[in-house]
A and B are shown apart, each in its own frame.
Chain A
């Protein structure tokens, strides 16, 4: 089965957003399919890295829907239609690309029905794209939550640190508990040498799908706040492309 939904997870600071941006760039270059990119990190770093300013966050839609329920302006069906409409309106479109940012939860309280609606709408939305890429929140919490339930392949990003690798292993275990079908692979970032790579291979049983070297081009782009869509072909980008080829995504 071709992978349709991919999530990028890992410990904070290992380079998840960089990897997600490079994946987005590689898929954008291809232009042969409809791609949905979801920035599920409340910090919203992926939008910044890609130079996209979201029109609206999913959290704002959630707030609007909750207000509508509070004011009793709508019944269930109307709310469902409203969610579909507002999500479509919130997409930032770039050719074959659509970008959606989750944003930060603003409304406190239990709104399970709204969350369920949002989850179903996102699932339906993702079904209409050839590929959905989700840049996850740091750590393991989100693996449990709404956007991650439809994920078929987890790209676990880690730097060479033991902590990074352990978090990746924990995420994989948790993902397996949620769905046995979930597949995962480790993508190593900021690798300095073949020797370092060898050492990591010896430390973990995770399936290593690729690696990215430390790359000054990435560092420069990050420092200048330039869009990764403009990034020239560089070693880190090649590393991501190779991994995507391995996964038959490219």
Chain B
């Protein structure tokens, strides 16, 4: 059993459904990322595109699985790529599925989150709040004119995440099609939010009463969380377990 097994499966079902409808396609992975890595602040005036702009629809989360899958990285897109987008604003989803082994779940969660945040490409401004699962990107006019695409972003994300020793494969799914498609994945996202919230609280808090905790239902449901709690208890945290 893994921490994110249920939402991981939900994303799997979503991909299958969209594949059956021939709505999802694979983007080429760029083995040599021919794009400068640097942080950009892009004003609206300079931007060619805004993805996941507050109000447009935005979803970003990460799930993992311990299923064996070595070096089978994949980049999928539901909806148009950047150069195919009509209009300046579009909804945006960035769902990441990671395969590997995750000995210390909280550390792995933090390192994966940092890898995503540290992915900075010239001409792309990315702002995200992991706990709220929102992502907002601006693409500079020059970058778009020079051929910047979601292949670049996806490949850069995979490269950064793959640099972590516990990761075996990475799958990035971009959604630019509609708010409706994003909403379809919201329940999976909510489940991830609850699990990650419980994990963060468990590690961050020094004294913790399960009876009074808003996450107790999640811990009851996700076996892995109970095990983490027991492990932390042995390490000297003071818990009043259910």
A residues in contact (CB < 8 Å) with B: 34, 68, 72-75, 77-78, 81-82, 84-85, 88-89, 93, 95-96, 98, 125, 128-129
Contact present for B204 and A75 (CB under 8 Å): yes
Q: When A73-B197, A77-B110 are in contact, do A96 and B129 touch as well, CB less than 8 Å?
A: no
A74-B43 CB under 8 A given contacts A81-B117, A85-B136, A89-B54: no
B136 and chain A: residue at smallest CB distance: A85
User: Interface size for chain B: under 10, 10 to 19, 20 to 34, or 35 or more residues?
Assistant: 20 to 34
A64 to B180, CA, bound (A): 28
Q: Are A77 and B127 in contact (CB under 8 A)?
A: no
Contacts of A88 in B (CB 8 A): 41, 125, 127, 136
A94 CB, min distance to chain B CBs, angstroms: 8
Chain B residue numbers with a CB within 8 Å of A85 are 127-129, 134, 136
The residues of B that contact A128 with a CB separation of less than 8 Å are 40-41
Residues in A whose Cβ lies below 8 Å from that of B110: 75, 77
Q: Is the CB of B113 within 8 A of A77?
A: yes
The smallest C-beta distance from A201 to any residue of chain B, in angstroms, reads: 41
Task: Report the Cα distance A73→B182, complex, angstroms.
Answer: 23
Q: Give every chain B residue within 8 A of A98 (Cβ-Cβ).
A: 43
Minimum CB distance partner of A85 in chain B = B127
Task: Report B142-169 residues with CB < 8 Å from chain A CB.
Answer: none
User: Are A74 and B131 in touch, CB under 8 angstroms?
Assistant: yes
CB contacts (< 8 Å) of B201 on chain A: these are 72
Cross-chain contact A81 with B45 (CB below 8 angstroms): no
B45 in contact with A95 (CB, 8 Å): yes
Among B44, B114, B131, B136, which residue has its beta carbon within 8 angstroms of that of A82? Answer: B131
Please tell me which one of the listed residues B43, B128, B200 contacts residue A75 in the complex, with CB atoms under 8 A apart.
B200
Beta-carbon contact of A78 and B205 below 8 Å: no
* B43 x A93 contact (CB < 8 A): yes
Contact B45 A93 (CB under 8 A): yes
Given contacts A81-B128, A82-B129, A93-B43, 5 further A-B contacts (CB under 8 A): A77-B130, A85-B127, A85-B134, A85-B136, A93-B45
Which one, A73, A84, A93, contacts B131 given CB within 8 A?
A73
Candidates A82, A89, A96, A125; contact of B41 at CB < 8 Å: A125
Q: Which of A77, A95, A125 has the most CB of B within 10 A?
A: A77
Interface membership of B132, Cβ < 8 A: yes
Distance from A179 Cβ to chain B, minimum over Cβ atoms (Å): 25
* Chain B residues positioned under 8 Å from A77 (CB to CB): 110, 113-114, 117, 130
Assembly CA distance A74 to B127 (angstroms) = 16
User: CB distance A84 to B197 under 8 Å?
Assistant: no
